[in-house]
Chains A and B, each alone.
Chain A
Amino acid sequence: MSGLLSQKLEVVNLGLPSFAAAIAGAGGSVTQVAWAPPAGGDRAVGEALAKLIGNPAVEAANKKAYGLYLAAQPRLAGVGIARDVVPGVDGRVVLHAGAPVEWSRMCGPMQGGICGALVYEGWASDLEAARQLAASGAVKFDSCHHHGAVGPMAGILSPSMPVWIIDNPEHGNRAFSTLNEGLGKVLRYGANSPEVLARLKWFETTLAPALKAALAITGPIDLKPLMAQALHMGDEMHNRNVASSALLFRKLAPAMMKSGIEAADIAASMDFFTANDFSFLNVSMAACKAMMDAAHGVEGSSLVTTMARNGVEFGIRVSGTGSQWFTTPAPRVNGLYFPGYSIADAAPDLGDSAITETCGIGGFAMASALAIVKFIGGKPDEALGYTRAMADITLGRNPSFTLPALNFAGSPAGIDIRKVVDTGVEPVVNTGIAHKDAGVGQIGAGITRAPLPCFAKAVEALASRL
């Protein structure tokens, strides 16, 4: 009871800096806070937030959820056809990136990708018929995230597509993503020309069987050690996947050679895989999905388990608020644009790939990826600054993902909605930028921020459940 008067006074000063100076001047101990109104000045959210800070139920739930996240052991277990392995993808179902969004509201690249998928599946004879079919309501669209899947950009996943299978034996969950198509004209940016669809067919007939055969020989590949190694080689496994793709290739290539698959198919598969610097991106995303799903569903937890964009809205989900999405209009990305393009040509932020940041890599591990520092202004110091800043909004650091440039500190991981709303520090997301029209493809890349309103809504929802 007499604690305060008999202890050494240690003050935290929130507000006028002159008060801190007076305390320090009198030999007192004081920490000044760089304070700004939380929740962008929204008082109702601020009050909800105050209930969550220092709340024992939330602290306990977060400890549990974070433990689940850290304990997850994603493995590359195989390759399969979506209809055979992804739950709920049978019949006329097409999955897409981000929160659920109905056909009429979808952005250009997503509509383009879906039309391509409908033709690819043989449900429509041409793109015009596909468009009518999509609008008719006869095809079910749903969020990849509702099916344990993730997809970059438009994130189109239809039943015939081959998918990577990531399992997590620690918790028994699985995650899925399609095979990466490379750059240029690709379905994930809304391209749907015959060459795009032909490539998808070739995945089905040639690449996927080769990969599957190789994985059958290697057995499941532990992904955390591979990802940790790639971080040390300059990847953050969202915008840069050169090292991780090479590391995976190193494991798959010898096995593929031994698989008994025809030499021409092996050669074509290897050619494709090695020519694509983004081969590992989809594996990285599904591995992150497997880790975050393991931590989802802990009542009371303020841990973010999903960040995803559907080209209309930026959405997040939180461990302690069940399947609910908290969305806000997706921003356009103020990044670096390819010659001839500008922000006016860009689709709003798109794709499930922000699952990497959710999991503590991508933009959060920017300190590892100095080679792509040009996206953020060009100075390595700035890359380190991004990673350090993210430590302010995470529940901790992942000891499996160490960062040499920061004295091997773990990457900041596990976004806490409370910390985002309290500090106003929005999570960074490394991203590619799609043209707003279907089929044009990537027109730039850069860094964007997960918008505060998603987190503010989540804070109110979590507070109302406690």
Chain B
Amino acid sequence: MAVSTRIVHNLYRDSVSLMQLSDTLAKRAGIAEISAVMATPANLDLLREAKLLDGTVSAGPNDLLIVARGETAAVSAALDEAEASLMRAPATGGDGTGPAEKKLPHSLAAAVAERPSANLVLISTPGEYAAAEARKALNLGLNVMVFSDNVGLASEIALKRLADERGLLVMGPDCGTAIISGVPLGFANVVRRGAIGVVGASGTGTQQVTCLVDRLGAGISHAIGTGGRDLHHHIGGASMLRGLALLAADQETKVIVLVSKPPAPEVMEKVLAAAAKAGKPVVVNFLGADPAAIKGRNLYAAATLEDAAHAAVSLLKGRKSRPVTRIPAVPRVAFKKGQRYVRGLYSGGTFGYEASLLLGAKLGAIRSNVAVRESDEHDDPWTSRGHTIVDLGDDVFTRGRPHPMIDHRLRNERLAKEAADPETAVILLDVVLGHGAHADPAAAMTPAIREAHETARRAGRRLAIVGFVCGTPGDPQGLKRQEDALRKAGMTLCASNAEAVRLVARLLPRDKAPARKKSKATKGRRR
């Protein structure tokens, strides 16, 4: 086994392209591990932790570093191939020194000079550079969506203050999803255009609401993201307030939906006061908030993302809406004695949070890294114990690895582990479609789902694998194709996360443990 490195100076590639490259090269014979990264201090640390690097390398943040471990000849061939393919396929255009084809602008300012009518900048650069780019955009008079995460709180405050001075909108940082005038930004689904406007602090929350609205036959005017921290005390809901005002003034929007975890109390007060003056119905889904706190002639509290979508569509049709209680009729599964627990393996943080919230109310203690109650916090998210809900998109799992919505390997491994656990009864999964998600999640998941059933069967057990697909017929992956393939592999599909959770609660064997009252404590990771 040999470890060898290669540096390509002054060549920048985004992390997704590099992970794809690493992935392809890792499949070569004789390669144990290979990693292509920009040589930032953080990436170098990761490589050192992985024992792929010791000491220093003469490479900086603008240099591309490839490290490989494996058989000597294979390593050297893989490094050659890596370098060759990087040189072959410039993902971001030429270096500006060669002749003369039509080339891409090299900076935000140059792009805006070329396109003076541009009005929004979508930023998905590494987080450490995102705030500076966002500031440039605001200075140049453009609205901003910062998809990047790892932007400091102080930067977020400064950006949102600047946006306020300029009368501009900042979505994010860490804003995963938006749809403006029918155009998907970031991780977004292809939904019908219509009269329901969304302001969401959570990307997957917004995806669930917009997909369900689409499924119910209505459409979306705009979905504005705020980033997960916007409703914290320090930020004060700046983006949600501006989004709300934009939708209130928008002719096309007839009903507004707000999606978030419960805001800081004084922020909640401000947001609800603004919502009360919106002049149109506002459905408020503050996951886990006390519905009694949401009062106002035009305000409607929704306990789940599903309820929020249903309420919005009902209000659009001038009807009142009741909470959804539907549970699909499925045959009971004959669990063995000892099969008692649900294991929720989520790729969407908000889905995991919603599931913890709803299941916690029905089942009592839930181990989770998206715990609703402090007592439920998970000491080791890599291992399940009792009822467990894991958000596999948590930083713990995604350091140096693609997000589970893009790469299903980590979840498939975990699925195998849960299937082998004699205490597992139900496995709960989310499947997210749309732009930015895996090109064919069903294809990536079905072998693992079949294998999980097979593992249980060999041990004389039966498993229930329950979930839902967050997507639309218009999504690039195709909702029906995905659902058909997943069903065929043995997954029971619901229309929404909330419905899946209700089904799980029904399927689980009755336990002697008393159900605990719903708690209002909200400590936990916000995504």
Using known A-B contacts A15-B148, A50-B132, determine if residue A31 contacts B111 with beta carbons closer than 8 Å: yes
Distance of B433 from chain A, by nearest CB (Å): 13
B99 touches A382 (CB 8 A): yes
- B-binding segment of A38-46, A171-179, A201-209, A219-227: A38-46
- Contact residue range for chain A? 35 or more
B181 touches A5 (CB 8 A): yes
Using known A-B contacts A15-B123, A53-B109, determine if residue A36 contacts B92 with beta carbons closer than 8 Å: yes
Chain B residue, CB-CB nearest to A58: B139
A26 touches B249 (CB 8 A): no
Interface centre among A4, A38, A40, A424 (most CB of B within 10 A): A4
Cβ contacts under 8 Å, A11 to chain B: 118, 120-122, 183, 185
Cβ contacts under 8 Å, B183 to chain A: 9, 11, 23, 26-28
CB neighbors of B among A1-42 (8 A): 1-19, 22-23, 25-28, 31-38, 40-41
- A-binding segment of B100-108, B319-327, B492-500: B100-108
Interface centre among A27, A31, A379 (most CB of B within 10 A): A31
- B-binding segment of A87-95, A192-200, A274-282, A383-391: A383-391
Distance of A275 from chain B, by nearest CB (Å): 35
**Could you jot down 19 A-B contacts, CB within 8 Å?**
A9-B119, A9-B180, A10-B118, A11-B183, A12-B108, A15-B14, A15-B147, A23-B184, A35-B108, A38-B107, A38-B129, A40-B61, A40-B62, A41-B61, A41-B62, A43-B132, A388-B100, A423-B107, A424-B62
A54 touches B140 (CB 8 A): yes
Distance of B210 from chain A, by nearest CB (Å): 14
Chain A residue, CB-CB nearest to B90: A34
Distance of A383 from chain B, by nearest CB (Å): 8
Chain A residue, CB-CB nearest to B110: A392
A17 touches B92 (CB 8 A): yes
CB neighbors of A among B498-522 (8 A): none
CB neighbors of A among B29-55 (8 A): 40
Using known A-B contacts A6-B250, A9-B119, A54-B109, determine if residue A35 contacts B125 with beta carbons closer than 8 Å: yes
Query: Does B402 reach chain A (CB closer than 8 Å)?
Result: no
Query: Does A425 reach chain B (CB closer than 8 Å)?
Result: yes
Q: How far does the alpha carbon of A16 sit from the alpha carbon of B97 in the complex, in Å? A: 23
Q: Pick the residue among B100, B105, B137, B182 that contacts A384 (CB under 8 A).
A: B100
Q: How far does the alpha carbon of A173 sit from the alpha carbon of B145 in the complex, in Å? A: 49
B135 touches A382 (CB 8 A): no
* Chain B interface, DSSP helix/strand/loop, else mixed: loop
Q: How far does the alpha carbon of A3 sit from the alpha carbon of B103 in the complex, in Å? A: 30
Interface centre among A3, A33, A38, A55 (most CB of B within 10 A): A33
Cβ contacts under 8 Å, B124 to chain A: 13-16, 19
Spell out B's residues near A (CB within 8 Å): 10, 12, 14, 16, 40, 60-62, 91-94, 96-100, 103-112, 114-115, 117-126, 128-129, 131-133, 135-143, 147-148, 167, 169, 180-186, 188, 190, 221-222, 245-247, 249-252, 435-436
Distance of B189 from chain A, by nearest CB (Å): 11
CB neighbors of B among A72-93 (8 A): none
Cβ contacts under 8 Å, A25 to chain B: 435
B107 touches A12 (CB 8 A): no
Distance of B520 from chain A, by nearest CB (Å): 35
Q: Using A34-B92, A36-B62, A47-B135 as known contacts, list a sample of 7 further A-B pairs with CB atoms less than 8 Å apart, ordered by residue number in A.
A: A15-B123, A38-B107, A50-B132, A51-B139, A385-B99, A422-B107, A425-B97
B222 touches A46 (CB 8 A): no
Cβ contacts under 8 Å, B122 to chain A: 11-15, 19, 23
B118 touches A1 (CB 8 A): no
Q: Pick the residue among B111, B140, B148 that contacts A33 (CB under 8 A).
A: B111
Cβ contacts under 8 Å, A41 to chain B: 40, 60-62, 129
A423 touches B14 (CB 8 A): no
A47 touches B132 (CB 8 A): yes
Q: How far does the alpha carbon of A23 sit from the alpha carbon of B147 in the complex, in Å? A: 14
B117 touches A10 (CB 8 A): yes
Cβ contacts under 8 Å, A8 to chain B: 117, 181
Q: How far does the alpha carbon of A247 sit from the alpha carbon of B184 in the complex, in Å? A: 60
CB neighbors of B among A375-431 (8 A): 379, 381-382, 384-386, 388-389, 392, 418-419, 422-425, 428
Cβ contacts under 8 Å, A419 to chain B: 107, 109-110
Distance of A366 from chain B, by nearest CB (Å): 11
Query: Does A49 reach chain B (CB closer than 8 Å)?
Result: yes
Cβ contacts under 8 Å, B148 to chain A: 15
A10 touches B120 (CB 8 A): yes
Cβ contacts under 8 Å, B115 to chain A: 10, 12, 31
B181 touches A54 (CB 8 A): no
Chain B residue, CB-CB nearest to A3: B119
Q: How far does the alpha carbon of A38 sit from the alpha carbon of B129 in the complex, in Å? A: 8
Chain A residue, CB-CB nearest to B133: A14
A19 touches B136 (CB 8 A): no
Distance of A269 from chain B, by nearest CB (Å): 42
Q: Pick the residue among B99, B142, B181, B435 that contacts A379 (CB under 8 A).
A: B99
Q: How far does the alpha carbon of A454 sit from the alpha carbon of B480 in the complex, in Å? A: 58
Using known A-B contacts A5-B180, A23-B183, A53-B140, determine if residue A37 contacts B62 with beta carbons closer than 8 Å: yes
A7 touches B119 (CB 8 A): yes
Distance of B484 from chain A, by nearest CB (Å): 24
Q: How far does the alpha carbon of A6 sit from the alpha carbon of B107 in the complex, in Å? A: 27
Q: How far does the alpha carbon of A32 sit from the alpha carbon of B106 in the complex, in Å? A: 9
Cβ contacts under 8 Å, A51 to chain B: 135, 139
Q: How far does the alpha carbon of A248 sit from the alpha carbon of B104 in the complex, in Å? A: 41
Q: 10 tightest A-B contacts by CB?
A: A41-B61, A54-B139, A15-B124, A381-B99, A36-B12, A28-B183, A423-B106, A22-B435, A385-B99, A50-B132
Q: Pick the residue among B16, B96, B167 that contacts A1 (CB under 8 A).
A: B167
Cβ contacts under 8 Å, B137 to chain A: 12
Q: Pick the residue among A6, A55, A425 that contacts B106 (CB under 8 A).
A: A425
Using known A-B contacts A11-B121, A53-B140, determine if residue A385 contacts B100 with beta carbons closer than 8 Å: yes
Distance of B362 from chain A, by nearest CB (Å): 38
Q: How far does the alpha carbon of A103 sit from the alpha carbon of B15 in the complex, in Å? A: 48
B62 touches A18 (CB 8 A): no
Distance of B197 from chain A, by nearest CB (Å): 9
Q: How far does the alpha carbon of A4 sit from the alpha carbon of B96 in the complex, in Å? A: 32
Distance of B435 from chain A, by nearest CB (Å): 4
B184 touches A54 (CB 8 A): no
Cβ contacts under 8 Å, A46 to chain B: 129, 132
A385 touches B97 (CB 8 A): yes
Cβ contacts under 8 Å, A35 to chain B: 12, 92, 106-108, 125
Distance of B281 from chain A, by nearest CB (Å): 18
Q: Pick the residue among B40, B104, B112, B167 that contacts A34 (CB under 8 A).
A: B104
Distance of A369 from chain B, by nearest CB (Å): 15
A1 touches B249 (CB 8 A): yes
Chain A residue, CB-CB nearest to B116: A10
Distance of A420 from chain B, by nearest CB (Å): 10
B92 touches A418 (CB 8 A): no
